[in-house]
Amino acid sequence: MSLERYQYLSNVWKDGIFDNKVVFCTGGAGTICSAQVRAMVHLGANACIIGRNVEKTENMAKDIATARKGSKVIGIGAVDVRKPEALAAAAEKCAQELGSIDFVIAGAAGNFLAPMDQISANAMKSVIDIDVLGSYNTVKATLPYLVESASKHKTNGKTEPPNGTGGRIIFVSATLHYSGTPMQSHVSVAKAGVDAMAMSVAIEQGPKGITSNVIAPGPIADTEGVARLSKQEGRDKSAKGIPSGRYGSVKEISDATVYLFSDTGNYVNGEVLVVDGGAWHTSGVGSRQWEYPDFLLSGDSVSGVAGGRKSKL
């Protein structure tokens, strides 16, 4: 289904700023990542999105391609980011068919609601492997292409790069670990690892022209994650505790992505860009009048949301 520009991209950005560039995105069929890629495609890029579900990934690729006439968007399904050889093959296919890899979005993630005493060692490992190891595998598979792109699109910060920008990576993280989030210990640990990895990439690869940054979305409306992990009445209540007074939109994550990948982000490296309306600053228990739910105290499994889960210890 073709979307209107205002649904995924602000009007401040100039069309064509990513002409002849290629973005590679893991988790690209997800609500947030697909919006990020759609914005890039609208502004001139071609794209390759990676996912586990073949049909969902291929269909999303076709949908994203409607953002710009003549665009090329490849959907590669059946790829598990925990398997380095699968990602290496996907990156090679992307570069061969589209000509390069100039931008990378590491967005594959796993999540469910459960207190630590209901999370098995295997479940904890699975989330860490998808988020942390998956991000690492994404970097390893695409870094040679990013280094090549960065060398072609250098800037001295005084003038716009003649051939646009390149050699940039964004890790999609979260704010869960900033102040602690109940029933999200597994994801908090994983996202903290992702943040640390992004900083290491910036420090080590920066001299080669690579920029490595993190976007940490807060509560974003109409996303799969929010729908699975919270009740509507809970969302209505929690929105009142956000300084901006509302949940965010995927467009606001897309805009942050364009900012970091375009000429505006030339000197931004090793940073975490939080896009949450100030939500994490008021995420303390007292400020939201949060109450411990019965299932957390009783040991019952999480109830009332699609993303609740109890696994064997």
| 15 contact partners, CB below 8 Å, separation of at least 6 | 42, 43, 44
Distances from the Cα of 277 to the Cα of 5, 34, 219, angstroms: 22, 21, 9
| 134 contact partners, CB below 8 Å, separation of at least 6 | 26, 81, 82, 106, 108, 109
SS3 label, residue 275: strand
Sign of CA dihedral 107, 230, 176, 193: negative
* Token pair listed for 232: 């509507």
Are residues 179 and 186 in contact, defined by beta-carbon separation less than 8 angstroms? no
Catalytic residue set: 173, 191
Q: What is the 3-state secondary structure (H, E, C) of 187-222?
A: HHHHHHHHHHHHHHHHHHHHHHCCEEEEEEECCECC
